[in-house]
């Protein structure tokens, strides 16, 4: 019996390129390959969008923002709040002031917003590779630097327009470019800069930024702070400040189940077609094996083994190809996208283990289901008719 089973297995594993039906085998292989590859790329891109948009939007708007809604004494009220209430190991707080200025260099003028910190937060320094700033130094975005043809250590002039009862006045400050940050966000790289605060805070728009040590606790920490503070303090999280952008990502993920279903159905149909052809192709061999006493159970087992191998080779190869494509994009950022539309300047990639495990498990289950139908067709073939089949 063992020799008969080996003979059946060998017969089912004959090189498919020698068969007149080899095209269907190749079709099943490539449909599984392309399906798995498309899903890997789709999951990696959407997870990449979600990860990078959340991470980078949090860098520019902070994890939690606390504003003082009264126009007077903002800085003093927020400093008092920072020193009296906001003492926690779960976050670090910074009093931030904004300065709307004109930046001028070699005849070019552009309006920008300077975010001024007492010290630049560690999370921002690490993300944008900013060193220790000194007084009258500034860090600008890459897009603004390219527009003005600026490099590190170049000098620019910032002009602050002040309004008073007597009219308008201008404050001119010569600043050194201490760094150029690259965020991939066009709107930030072109009109945002970082600098250290000067000693005059009273007339500037001020607010508190909180950066959490564990971002998973964002909503819990925000809820605790909201219970402590009432109006005129206003608390918002980066998710609320960037809700439009983050909701856009969730909308983009909604068609994924539909795409997954379509790709799976196509792959299953191609696999079933290929395996049915294999049944027809091997009917005579199966009939001969059955005449020697091989059981239906053993025939189905051998057929399932070969059918699963045909499907899984395509799926695993597709996963490998998909991983290679997303890795190349992640390293070299070959595919560029318009940042004014998609918020980022290159197609983002986020590789997660669950993506590959999910697709391999799903592929295995669907492959098994696609092999079952031809297997039941196989055992219904009568021995005499199978032997006579040519």
- Report the relative pairing of strands 167-181 and 155-164 from DSSP bridges: antiparallel
The predicted model gives 135-141 an average pLDDT of 90
Q: Lowest-pLDDT range, 30-39, 83-92, 151-160, 169-178? A: 83-92
Q: Lowest-pLDDT range, 55-64, 76-85, 282-291, 305-314? A: 282-291
pLDDT band at residue 137 using 50, 70 and 90 as cut-offs: very high
pLDDT band at residue 180 using 50, 70 and 90 as cut-offs: very high
pLDDT number for residue 327: 94
Q: Is residue 240 part of a domain?
A: no
CA dihedral 67, 73, 79, 83 (to 10 degrees): -100
Q: Which residue has the higher pLDDT, 109 or 279?
A: 109
Same domain, 153 and 217: yes
Same domain, 51 and 74: no
Domain span holding position 374:
2-56+249-388
> What whole-number distance in Å separates Cα of residue 196 and Cα of residue 96?
10
> What whole-number distance in Å separates Cα of residue 169 and Cα of residue 223?
43
Same domain, 93 and 213: yes
Q: Is residue 238 part of a domain?
A: no
pLDDT band at residue 175 using 50, 70 and 90 as cut-offs: very high
pLDDT number for residue 256: 67
pLDDT (tens digit per residue) in 273-300: 766 666 666 666 666 666 666 677 777 7
Same domain, 222 and 316: no
Q: SS3 sequence, 173-201?
A: EEEEEEEEECCCCHHHHCCEEEEECCCCC
pLDDT (tens digit per residue) in 189-241: 888 999 998 755 555 678 899 998 888 888 898 998 888 888 888 999 988 88
pLDDT (tens digit per residue) in 67-98: 988 877 777 888 888 887 767 788 888 888 88
Same domain, 325 and 383: yes
Residue 17 pLDDT > 50: no
Q: Other CB atoms closer than 10 Å to residue 120's CB: what's the count?
A: 21
The predicted model gives 139-168 an average pLDDT of 87
Same domain, 184 and 327: no
pLDDT number for residue 16: 46
Same domain, 253 and 189: no
> What whole-number distance in Å separates Cα of residue 13 and Cα of residue 303?
10
Q: Helix, strand, coil: what percent of the chain each, to 5?
A: 55, 20, 25
Q: Is residue 241 part of a domain?
A: no
> What whole-number distance in Å separates Cα of residue 260 and Cα of residue 258?
5
Q: Map tokens 């220790």 to a residue.
A: 132
Residue where one domain finishes, among candidates 165, 198, 230? 230
**Contact criterion met (CB below 8 Å) for 63 and 212:** yes
State percent of the chain over pLDDT 70: 76
Same domain, 91 and 178: yes
pLDDT number for residue 176: 93
Total number of domains constituting the chain: 2
Q: Is residue 294 part of a domain?
A: yes
The predicted model gives 248-262 an average pLDDT of 70
Beta bridge mates, 206: 97
According to DSSP, residue 151 is labeled -
Same domain, 51 and 95: no
Same domain, 265 and 364: yes
pLDDT number for residue 347: 85
Cα-based angle 277, 283, 286 (whole degrees, multiple of 5) = 130
> What whole-number distance in Å separates Cα of residue 356 and Cα of residue 47?
13
Cα-based angle 72, 75, 77 (whole degrees, multiple of 5) = 75
Q: Three-class SS of residue 72?
A: coil
Q: Map tokens 């789709």 to a residue.
A: 42
pLDDT band at residue 381 using 50, 70 and 90 as cut-offs: low
Q: Is residue 360 part of a domain?
A: yes
pLDDT number for residue 6: 56
pLDDT number for residue 378: 67
Report the mean per-residue pLDDT for the chain. 79
The predicted model gives 121-144 an average pLDDT of 88
> Nearest-CA neighbor of 285 among 141, 133, 387, 165?
387
Same domain, 50 and 192: no
Q: Lowest-pLDDT range, 93-107, 175-189, 299-313, 358-372? A: 299-313
pLDDT number for residue 274: 67
Q: Is residue 242 part of a domain?
A: no
Q: Lowest-pLDDT range, 40-49, 130-139, 143-152, 277-286? A: 277-286
pTM of the model: 0.68
**Positive/negative CA dihedral, 43, 45, 46, 51:** positive
Q: Is residue 236 part of a domain?
A: no
Q: Map tokens 């079952």 to a residue.
A: 372
Q: Is residue 244 part of a domain?
A: no
Choose from 20-24, 98-102, 267-271 the range with maximum mean pLDDT. 98-102
Residue where one domain finishes, among candidates 178, 199, 230? 230
Alpha carbon distances (Å) from 388 to 205, 282, 284, 303: 91, 12, 7, 21
**Contact criterion met (CB below 8 Å) for 283 and 379:** no
Same domain, 313 and 278: yes
The predicted model gives 244-256 an average pLDDT of 71
Residue where one domain finishes, among candidates 200, 230, 260? 230
């Amino acid at each position: 019996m063992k020799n008969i089973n080996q003979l059946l297995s060998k017969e089912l594993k004959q090189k498919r390129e020698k068969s007149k039906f080899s095209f269907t085998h190749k079709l099943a292989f490539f449909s599984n390959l392309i399906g798995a590859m498309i899903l890997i790329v789709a999951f990696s891109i959407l997870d990449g969008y979600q990860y990078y948009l959340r991470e980078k939007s949090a860098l520019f708007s902070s994890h939690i923002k606390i504003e003082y809604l009264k126009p007077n004494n903002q800085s003093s009220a927020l400093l008092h709040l920072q020193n009296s209430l906001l003492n926690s190991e779960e976050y670090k707080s910074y009093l931030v002031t904004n300065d709307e200025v004109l930046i001028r260099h070699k005849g070019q003028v552009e309006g920008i917003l300077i975010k001024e910190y007492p010290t630049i937060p560690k999370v921002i320094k690490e993300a944008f590779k900013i060193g220790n700033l000194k007084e009258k130094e500034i860090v600008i975005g890459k897009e603004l630097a390219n527009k003005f043809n600026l490099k590190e250590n170049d000098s620019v002039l910032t002009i602050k327009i002040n309004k008073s009862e007597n009219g308008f006045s201008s404050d001119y400050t010569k600043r050194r470019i201490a760094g150029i940050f690259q965020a991939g966000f066009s709107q930030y790289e072109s009109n945002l800069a970082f600098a250290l605060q000067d000693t005059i805070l009273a007339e500037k728009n001020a607010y508190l930024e909180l950066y959490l040590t564990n971002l998973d606790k964002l909503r819990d920490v925000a809820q605790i702070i909201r219970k402590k503070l009432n109006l005129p303090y206003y608390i918002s999280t980066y998710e609320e400040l960037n809700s439009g952008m983050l909701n856009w990502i969730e909308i983009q993920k909604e068609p994924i189940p539909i795409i997954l279903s379509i790709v799976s159905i196509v792959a299953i149909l191609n696999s079933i077609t290929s395996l049915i052809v294999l049944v027809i192709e091997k009917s005579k061999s199966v009939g001969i094996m059955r005449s020697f006493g091989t059981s239906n159970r053993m025939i189905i087992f051998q057929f399932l083994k070969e059918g699963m191998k045909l499907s899984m080779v395509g799926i695993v190869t597709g996963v490998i190809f998909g991983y290679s494509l997303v890795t190349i994009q992640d390293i070299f950022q070959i595919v560029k996208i318009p940042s004014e539309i998609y918020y980022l300047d290159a197609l983002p990639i986020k590789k997660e283990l669950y993506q590959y495990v999910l697709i391999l498990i799903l592929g295995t289950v669907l492959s098994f289901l696609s092999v079952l139908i031809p297997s039941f067709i196989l055992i219904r073939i009568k021995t005499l008719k199978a032997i006579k089949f040519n």
